[in-house]
Amino acid sequence: MTLTPTAVALPEVSPARGGPDGPFGVYVHVPFCFARCGYCDFNTYTPAELGGANPDAWVAALDRELELAAERAGGRPADTVFVGGGTPSLLGAERLGRVLDRVRAHFGLAADAEVTTEANPESTSPQFFESIRAAGYTRVSLGMQSVSPHVLATLDRIHSPGRPVAAAREARAAGFAHLNIDLIYGTPGETDDDLLRSVDAALEAGADHVSAYSLIVEQGTALARRVRRGELPAPEDDVLAHRYELVDSRLRAAGMDWYEVSNWSRPGAACRHNLGYWGGGRWWGAGPGAHSYDGVLRWWNVKHPDAYAQLLADGVLPVAGFEELSDADRHTEDVMLRLRMRDGLALALLDAQERERAATAIGDGLVLSDGERLVLTDRGRLLADAVVRSLLG
């Protein structure tokens, strides 16, 4: 029996709370992947899981969501757009162009809007990059993860070790000024040399931005099952810390600096869309399972693409649930997110007790202060979550 999906109505929010200050971004979630990587717990679906994917139907449903979203958002143009997933490049350049056209038509774009798409190197080509650049995309984020074949095999990544570098060069040749490469460190079987060769490959490919994330064994994934069965060892905290330091040292030596705990860039190349998330900006998340935030409410869409499309065909936003953040909730998030950034956390945001705890963290060598802001030290970055918990008490 097929169940009819239901949606949750979003409440109206007083303009006295939240408000339109700060950047506004649009995130578009593409739920399609050719295959599922063993470590991934994102809301993605392979063609077999969907009984055959229909990307054109997804684009049509997305168009309807963006139309309804723009009515609620009050016509504010987007400062940034980020198409993620999933594997957006599986849509092909023509559909990605249509996605951006729909955002432009319903929300509008700021004159200097940053427009990013993620891409799997295996589903790109010189023509792909040339077409999406002509459509208005300004930034590409490529998933490299590693250049070591045995690391890629453990992660169930299907691209060849050399393809990300070739794709990066093709994107540069197509005129992309900003190019991000994603890395994962701490995979079972990875060596220091494996990681450093991956970092060097990203630099040689011309990336002006690198994101490096420690491998997390997420429950319900194929990787978690392999670890539970004893086929693979779980990542060790000391090894992850050492690998982070290797990444940081290599990138800094090459002229990149960290601007968020897991992100490094050359001057002027930080990802503005992600800065909006970390800096308290507002965004609309469109697509199955996408999350949104308007300064007071956080809400999330139904996950399955079929339920998502059916609700939109009925003319309703496909909202699965929401929460209204209290002032205390928003304070917690401000501390948690802003302290992870190179610009740091303004001391004025902390109450008296939190300032006392901050003095302890300074004494422990975890943060520095110029009297106005707190910034994580190199050691503090390795313990960022613990530092946040200590400040909040």
Check residue 143 and give its pLDDT: 93
Mean pLDDT, residues 40-64 taken together:
85
Domain match, 183 and 274 both:
yes
Domain match, 263 and 359 both:
no
* Residues in contact with 305: Cβ distance below 8 Å, sequence separation at least 6, in sequence order: 31, 45, 50, 53, 58, 61, 288
Domain match, 147 and 228 both:
yes
Check residue 39 and give its pLDDT: 81
Mean pLDDT, residues 197-206 taken together:
96
**CA of 303: how far to CAs of 3, 43, 67, 319, 374, in Å?**
14, 7, 19, 10, 38
Domain match, 223 and 369 both:
no
Q: Tens of pLDDT along 230-253?
A: 999 999 999 999 999 999 999 999
Residue 1 pLDDT class (50, 70, 90 cuts): very low
Phi–psi pair at 338, nearest 5 degrees: -70, -30
User: Of the ranges 52-61, 208-217, 243-252, which one carries the lowest mean pLDDT score?
Assistant: 52-61
In a domain, 182, yes or no: yes
In a domain, 106, yes or no: yes
Check residue 156 and give its pLDDT: 87
Q: What is the mean pLDDT of the chain?
A: 92
Domain match, 251 and 371 both:
no
Residue 172 has pLDDT above 60, yes or no: yes
In a domain, 271, yes or no: yes
Helix, strand, coil share (%) of the chain residues, nearest 5:
40, 20, 35
Mean pLDDT, residues 11-27 taken together:
70
In a domain, 286, yes or no: no
279, 298, 321 - which closes a domain: 279
256, 279, 302 - which closes a domain: 279
In a domain, 285, yes or no: no
Domain match, 256 and 383 both:
no
Mean pLDDT, residues 154-176 taken together:
91
- With contact defined as beta carbons under 8 Å apart, do 117 and 96 qualify? yes
| pTM, 2 dp | 0.94
In a domain, 297, yes or no: no
Helix (H, G, I), strand (E, B) or coil at 384: helix
The parent domain of residue 146 ranges over 24-279
279, 294, 321 - which closes a domain: 279
Mean pLDDT, residues 7-20 taken together:
67
Domain match, 258 and 119 both:
yes
Domain match, 356 and 221 both:
no
Domain match, 165 and 267 both:
yes
Residue 268 has pLDDT above 90, yes or no: yes
Domain match, 83 and 192 both:
yes
Mean pLDDT, residues 268-277 taken together:
96
What CATH number does the domain containing 244 carry?
Answer: 3.20.20.70
pLDDT > 70 in the chain, percent: 96
Other C-beta atoms closer than 10 Å to the C-beta of 315 total 9
In a domain, 298, yes or no: no
Domain match, 237 and 365 both:
no
In a domain, 157, yes or no: yes
Check residue 16 and give its pLDDT: 45
Domain match, 363 and 268 both:
no
Q: How many domains does the chain have?
A: 2
More confident residue, 252 or 296: 252
Q: Tens of pLDDT along 322-380?
A: 999 999 999 999 999 999 999 999 999 999 999 999 999 999 999 999 999 999 999 99
Check residue 42 and give its pLDDT: 83
Check residue 141 and give its pLDDT: 98
Residue 166 pLDDT class (50, 70, 90 cuts): very high
Check residue 15 and give its pLDDT: 47
